[in-house]
Structure 1
Protein backbone atom coordinates (compact mmCIF):
# COMPACT_ATOMS: atom_id res chain seq x y z
CA UNK A 1 0.00 0.00 0.00
CA UNK A 2 2.76 2.44 0.90
CA UNK A 3 4.54 1.83 -2.41
CA UNK A 4 1.32 2.23 -4.41
CA UNK A 5 0.49 5.61 -2.82
CA UNK A 6 3.87 7.08 -1.86
CA UNK A 7 2.51 10.60 -1.23
CA UNK A 8 -0.31 9.60 1.11
CA UNK A 9 -0.15 11.65 4.31
CA UNK A 10 -0.51 8.54 6.49
CA UNK A 11 -0.52 4.79 6.05
CA UNK A 12 -4.18 4.04 6.75
CA UNK A 13 -6.12 1.74 4.45
CA UNK A 14 -9.29 3.80 4.84
CA UNK A 15 -7.48 6.86 3.48
CA UNK A 16 -7.56 5.19 0.06
CA UNK A 17 -10.31 2.63 0.47
CA UNK A 18 -13.14 5.04 1.34
CA UNK A 19 -12.69 7.40 -1.64
CA UNK A 20 -12.23 4.44 -4.00
CA UNK A 21 -15.53 2.95 -2.77
CA UNK A 22 -17.31 6.30 -3.30
CA UNK A 23 -15.86 6.67 -6.80
CA UNK A 24 -16.77 3.08 -7.65
CA UNK A 25 -20.36 3.74 -6.58
CA UNK A 26 -20.49 6.89 -8.74
CA UNK A 27 -18.96 5.03 -11.69
CA UNK A 28 -21.58 2.29 -11.40
CA UNK A 29 -24.43 4.81 -11.31
CA UNK A 30 -23.09 6.46 -14.45
CA UNK A 31 -22.51 3.12 -16.19
CA UNK A 32 -26.10 2.07 -15.48
CA UNK A 33 -27.48 5.41 -16.69
CA UNK A 34 -28.78 6.33 -13.26
CA UNK A 35 -29.14 9.91 -12.15
CA UNK A 36 -26.22 11.51 -10.35
CA UNK A 37 -27.72 14.95 -9.68
CA UNK A 38 -28.22 14.08 -6.01
CA UNK A 39 -24.58 13.05 -5.59
CA UNK A 40 -21.84 15.12 -3.97
CA UNK A 41 -19.96 15.66 -7.22
CA UNK A 42 -17.56 18.22 -5.74
CA UNK A 43 -16.69 15.64 -3.11
CA UNK A 44 -16.06 12.99 -5.76
CA UNK A 45 -13.86 15.47 -7.65
CA UNK A 46 -11.88 15.94 -4.46
CA UNK A 47 -11.65 12.17 -4.00
CA UNK A 48 -10.22 11.79 -7.51
CA UNK A 49 -7.75 14.62 -7.03
CA UNK A 50 -6.59 13.36 -3.64
CA UNK A 51 -6.08 9.80 -4.84
CA UNK A 52 -4.12 11.02 -7.83
CA UNK A 53 -2.01 13.27 -5.61
CA UNK A 54 -1.24 10.27 -3.38
CA UNK A 55 0.13 8.59 -6.50
CA UNK A 56 1.95 11.52 -8.10
CA UNK A 57 1.81 15.25 -7.34
CA UNK A 58 2.79 16.28 -10.86
CA UNK A 59 0.10 14.11 -12.41
CA UNK A 60 -2.49 15.55 -10.05
CA UNK A 61 -1.46 19.09 -10.97
CA UNK A 62 -1.60 18.29 -14.69
CA UNK A 63 -5.07 16.73 -14.43
CA UNK A 64 -6.33 19.70 -12.40
CA UNK A 65 -5.01 22.12 -15.03
CA UNK A 66 -6.76 20.23 -17.86
CA UNK A 67 -10.01 19.43 -16.07
CA UNK A 68 -13.27 21.20 -16.84
CA UNK A 69 -15.08 19.82 -13.81
CA UNK A 70 -14.87 23.07 -11.80
CA UNK A 71 -16.46 24.99 -14.69
CA UNK A 72 -19.20 22.40 -15.07
CA UNK A 73 -19.92 22.32 -11.33
CA UNK A 74 -20.06 26.12 -11.16
CA UNK A 75 -22.78 26.13 -13.84
CA UNK A 76 -24.84 23.50 -12.08
CA UNK A 77 -28.38 24.70 -11.28
Structure 2
Protein backbone atom coordinates (compact mmCIF):
# COMPACT_ATOMS: atom_id res chain seq x y z
CA UNK A 1 0.00 0.00 0.00
CA UNK A 2 1.35 3.40 -0.93
CA UNK A 3 0.14 5.72 1.80
CA UNK A 4 1.57 8.84 3.44
CA UNK A 5 0.00 10.47 6.47
CA UNK A 6 1.10 13.92 7.54
CA UNK A 7 -0.05 15.07 10.98
CA UNK A 8 0.89 18.53 12.21
CA UNK A 9 0.04 20.23 15.47
CA UNK A 10 -1.43 23.67 14.88
CA UNK A 11 0.32 26.64 16.57
CA UNK A 12 -2.50 26.85 19.12
CA UNK A 13 -1.40 23.45 20.38
CA UNK A 14 -4.98 22.23 20.65
CA UNK A 15 -5.61 21.17 17.06
CA UNK A 16 -4.12 18.59 14.76
CA UNK A 17 -4.10 18.90 10.98
CA UNK A 18 -3.98 15.59 9.10
CA UNK A 19 -3.41 14.98 5.39
CA UNK A 20 -3.74 11.61 3.67
CA UNK A 21 -1.86 11.05 0.40
CA UNK A 22 -2.18 7.80 -1.52
CA UNK A 23 -1.64 6.21 -4.89
CA UNK A 24 -5.19 6.02 -6.24
CA UNK A 25 -4.27 3.06 -8.41
CA UNK A 26 -3.50 1.05 -5.26
CA UNK A 27 -5.81 2.50 -2.61
CA UNK A 28 -9.32 3.77 -3.27
CA UNK A 29 -10.75 7.00 -1.88
CA UNK A 30 -13.33 4.88 -0.03
CA UNK A 31 -10.56 2.89 1.69
CA UNK A 32 -8.88 6.13 2.74
CA UNK A 33 -12.20 7.43 4.09
CA UNK A 34 -12.56 4.27 6.20
CA UNK A 35 -8.98 4.61 7.50
CA UNK A 36 -9.58 8.28 8.28
CA UNK A 37 -12.74 7.52 10.27
CA UNK A 38 -10.98 4.73 12.18
CA UNK A 39 -7.95 6.94 12.90
CA UNK A 40 -10.12 9.86 14.12
CA UNK A 41 -12.16 7.54 16.35
CA UNK A 42 -8.99 6.08 17.87
CA UNK A 43 -7.53 9.55 18.45
CA UNK A 44 -10.76 10.88 19.99
CA UNK A 45 -10.85 7.84 22.30
CA UNK A 46 -7.28 8.52 23.45
CA UNK A 47 -8.03 12.19 24.06
CA UNK A 48 -11.17 11.35 26.05
CA UNK A 49 -9.25 8.85 28.19
CA UNK A 50 -6.50 11.39 28.84
CA UNK A 51 -9.05 14.01 29.88
CA UNK A 52 -10.71 11.70 32.39
CA UNK A 53 -7.42 10.10 33.43
CA UNK A 54 -9.27 6.81 33.03
CA UNK A 55 -6.19 5.38 31.41
CA UNK A 56 -4.07 5.75 34.55
CA UNK A 57 -0.30 5.86 34.54
CA UNK A 58 2.20 3.51 32.95
CA UNK A 59 5.84 2.80 33.92
CA UNK A 60 7.05 5.21 31.24
CA UNK A 61 5.10 8.04 32.93
CA UNK A 62 7.13 7.69 36.12
CA UNK A 63 10.63 8.09 34.78
CA UNK A 64 12.95 7.56 37.75
CA UNK A 65 10.81 4.96 39.52
CA UNK A 66 10.98 1.32 38.56
CA UNK A 67 7.46 0.07 39.22
CA UNK A 68 5.57 -2.57 37.31
CA UNK A 69 2.17 -1.80 35.80
CA UNK A 70 0.57 -3.96 38.50
CA UNK A 71 2.27 -1.94 41.26
CA UNK A 72 1.19 1.33 39.70
CA UNK A 73 -2.39 0.08 39.39
CA UNK A 74 -2.37 -0.96 43.05
CA UNK A 75 -1.16 2.48 44.17
CA UNK A 76 -3.75 4.24 42.03
CA UNK A 77 -6.54 2.00 43.30
CA UNK A 78 -5.47 2.64 46.91
CA UNK A 79 -5.39 6.43 46.45
CA UNK A 80 -8.76 6.49 44.68
CA UNK A 81 -10.44 4.79 47.65
CA UNK A 82 -8.93 7.00 50.35
For normalisation by structure 1, the TM-score amounts to 0.32
For normalisation by structure 2, the TM-score amounts to 0.30
More helix by share: 1
More strand by share: 2
Structure showing greater relative contact order (alpha-carbon pairs closer than 8 Å, 6 or more residues apart): 1
